[in-house]
Amino acid sequence: MADVQLTKLKKSFGNVDVIHGVDLTIEAGEFAVFVGPSGCGKSTLLRLVAGLEEASGGTVSIGGEDVTDVEPADRGVAMVFQSYALYPHMTVAENMGFGLKMTGSDPKFVRERVQRAAEILHLEQLLERKPKQLSGGQRQRVAIGRAIVREPKVFLFDEPLSNLDAELRVRMRLEIAKLHNDLGATMIYVTHDQVEAMTLADKIVVLRAGRIEQAGAPLDLYADPDNLFVAGFIGSPKMNFLAGTVSESANGESVIALTEFDGATAKVPVSGTLKPGTEVLLGIRPEHFTSQGTAAIETRIEVIEDLGGVSYGYSGADTDNPLTIALEEGHGIKPGQSFKARFDPARAMLFDPQSERRIR
Ligand SMILES: Nc1ncnc2c1ncn2[C@@H]1O[C@H](COP(=O)(O)OP(=O)(O)O)[C@@H](O)[C@H]1O
Ligand SMILES: [Mg+2]
């Protein structure tokens, strides 16, 4: 178990800058998740920690030691890939023990470590099989087992569940969470799936275009995003953003006139005073619409999704920016019906449409 410290870490491929100077501390024993859209640099950042990519600038430290120029095998990390990367001609036991065997460890010692990892992952019955005789979930478990056998200081996972079907993905997600609890090891996990990030992480690191947008505990990012990108990325369904203009503002409270909803206003708490006429975006999460809300917008619900337990109504379903509203149980609303969507303005957030920063 070791902490990981990235300082002004940069990576360029040729003249393309992919990671733009990342500063980040991951505490010893922490489960950190790098999340962000495809191409934002998650894998590159993880590979920089692993030593599979050479940094173009800055440093990587593991357990207080600068490992920027240390070979991958000597960094005390083990990586689990989406593709499993198992040797087809080796048995499960041989695959799991291979890394350790290559370091010249005593065969008996390797067998014991493999046995222990197999017990943790319920692979005891499969040790003599070849990878092609395993299901996708079992193969991924072997890949994780291979990492456990090496008892690394830091586990690195790159989208390890992406090749599994939805049900198995949920089960393996729970297994990985349990593994982290049992081993107490430092883990860095890459995913583009915000639900995986929310459920697994102690700390989520939201990346966009090679920069950290925000890092923090899952529920802190949900409740208190710094900007439009994080607000829209964390939470499902996505937060709604409504165009508005400040119509009145006193210290501590601003009245926002919602441009697309004729005459609708919301009195939103803010720390400063906003100049009347300032354009803002008002963010409101689908699940924060409630019949008890004091603010209301008049809309027409065009599509309803009844998922059982929870229902969502959509208006402007054919636009770029449909409005999503969680409907209360027994809502009785029919598609095409007009609807007064109420919300508590204290739960709404304001953003600057130009800088995309949160206005607090
Ligand atoms: N070996 C490479 N050579 C050139 N460009 C690369 C290389 N690896 C990654 N990239 C580029 O770096 C960016 C980030 O890639 P990556 O880290 O794989 O993103 P993610 O894992 O978030 O989807 C992408 O634009 C990708 O095309
Ligand atoms: Mg990737």
Give the pLDDT confidence of 142-155 residue by residue, as tens digits. 999 999 999 999 99
CA distances from 221 to 3, 109, 214 (A): 22, 44, 8
Report d(CA 129, CA 324) in Å as an integer: 49
Match 């996972």 to its residue by tokens: 157
CATH 3.40.50.300 domain extents, the chain: 4-231
C-beta of residue 282 within 8 angstroms of C-beta of residue 350 = yes
Question: Residues 49-63: pLDDT tens digits?
Answer: 999 999 999 999 999
Ligand 1 pocket, 42 CB below 6 A?
Answer: yes
Confirm or reject: Cβ of 227 under 6 Å from ligand 1.
no
**Mean pLDDT of the chain, nearest integer:** 95
Report yes or no: 210 and 40 within 8 Å, Cβ to Cβ: yes
Tell me the three state secondary structure of residue 345.
helix
Q: What is the pLDDT of residue 199?
A: 94
User: Quick one: average pLDDT of 38-43?
Assistant: 97
Of 343, 314, 340, 310, nearest in space to 328 by CA: 310
Alpha helix (H) residue ranges in the chain: 42-50, 92-102, 107-120, 136-149, 166-183, 194-200, 218-223, 228-233
Atom of ligand 1 nearest to the CA of 37: 22
pLDDT confidence of 272, banded at 50, 70, 90?
confident
Number of neighbours of residue 331 by Cβ within 10 angstroms: 16
Q: Give me the CATH topology for the region 4-231.
A: Rossmann fold (3.40.50)
pLDDT band with cut points at 50, 70 and 90 for residue 132: very high
Task: Please check whether residue 289 is in contact with residue 323, taking contact to mean a CB–CB distance below 8 angstroms.
Answer: no
Rounded to whole angstroms, how far apart are CA atoms 161 and 150?
21
Per-residue pLDDT reduced to its tens digit, 181-217 = 999 999 999 999 999 999 999 999 999 999 999 999 9
Does 160 have pLDDT greater than 90? yes
* Encoded amino acid at 41, one letter: G
Instruction: Identify which of 6, 5, 12, 9 has the alpha carbon closest to the alpha carbon of residue 58.
Output: 9
Q: Percent of the chain scored above 70 by pLDDT?
A: 100
Higher pLDDT, 272 or 218: 218
pLDDT at res. 262: 87
| Band of pLDDT at residue 319, cut at 50, 70 and 90 | confident
Please tell me the predicted confidence (pLDDT) of residue 115.
96
Q: Quick one: which ligand is closest to 53's CA?
A: 1
Phi-psi sector, 263: left (phi>0), alpha (psi -120 to 50), beta: left
DSSP 80-140: EETT----TTS-HHHHHHHHHHHTT--HHHHHHHHHHHHHHTT-GGGTTS-GGGS-HHHHH
The answer on pLDDT for 320 being more than 90 is no
For ligand 1, what atom is nearest to the CA of residue 47?
17
List the single range of 94-98, 320-324, 341-345 with lowest mean pLDDT. Answer: 320-324
Ligand 1 pocket: which of 13, 157, 213 to mutate (most atoms within 8 A of CB): 13
From 22, 43, 81, 82, mutation site for ligand 1 pocket: most ligand atoms within 8 A of C-beta:
43
Q: Which residue has the tokens 């990519």?
A: 53
Identify whether the C-beta of residue 223 lies closer than 8 Å to the C-beta of residue 235. no
210 Cα nearest atom in ligand 1: 14
**Is 88 exposed, middle or buried (CB count within 10 Å of its CB: 0-12, 13-18, 19+)?**
exposed
pLDDT at 128 exceeding the cut of 90: yes
pLDDT score of 317: 79
pLDDT for the residue numbered 343: 97
- Count of Cβ atoms closer than 10 Å to residue 242 Cβ: 20
